[in-house]
Homo-oligomer: A and B are copies of this chain.
Amino acid sequence: MQASRSGNELAQSQRMTVSASWLDLVQWDADGLVPAIAQEAGSGTVLTLAWMNREALEATAASGLAHYWSRSRGRLWQKGEKSGHAQAVREIRLDCDNDAILLVVEQHGGIACHTGRHRCFYQRLEDGNWRAVEPVLKDPRTIYAEK
């Protein structure tokens, strides 16, 4: 005979099952990561490409704020946690191979890049050289100053 479970236990179990299924569909790479594009709602500007592990994607969906996995720092990171330049998530999309994420976001402060630019993709190939073609909107020293 099956052990009886409280309503709470059952609800939690069902939530976890639901949660696991959409996260399990993602084809995480050998390091447990997928690339995640952030595109600005409205303008359509491609702001950043960052990386997510399972925890980052789950936290993003749960909180409505973009979370990524920092490969250089080896830790989960909420975009804007230091700069204030958070990304409020309007949509989460997955591609046909289930191995790339697209976030449609509202970019707080209008600055996605740690260099103080609107977006990270500010270098354009011109005559065999990468040329910075977008202005620095705010000095990074100001963005990351202790508050």
List the interface of chain A (C-beta within 8 A of B). 18-19, 21-22, 25, 35, 37, 39, 43-46, 48-49, 61, 91-98, 100, 102, 113-115, 117, 120-125, 128-130
A10 to chain B, nearest CB (A): 17
In the bound complex, residues from chain B placing their C-beta under 8 Å from that of A100 are 35, 49, 120-121
Q: Is the CB of A125 within 8 A of B92?
A: yes
Separation of A37 and B103 alpha carbons in the complex (Å) = 13
Q: Is the CB of B19 within 8 A of A130?
A: no
Across the interface, A49 reaches (CB within 8 A) one of B37, B61, B128, namely B37
- Contacts A37-B46, A39-B46: A120 and B96 contacting too (C-beta < 8 A)? yes
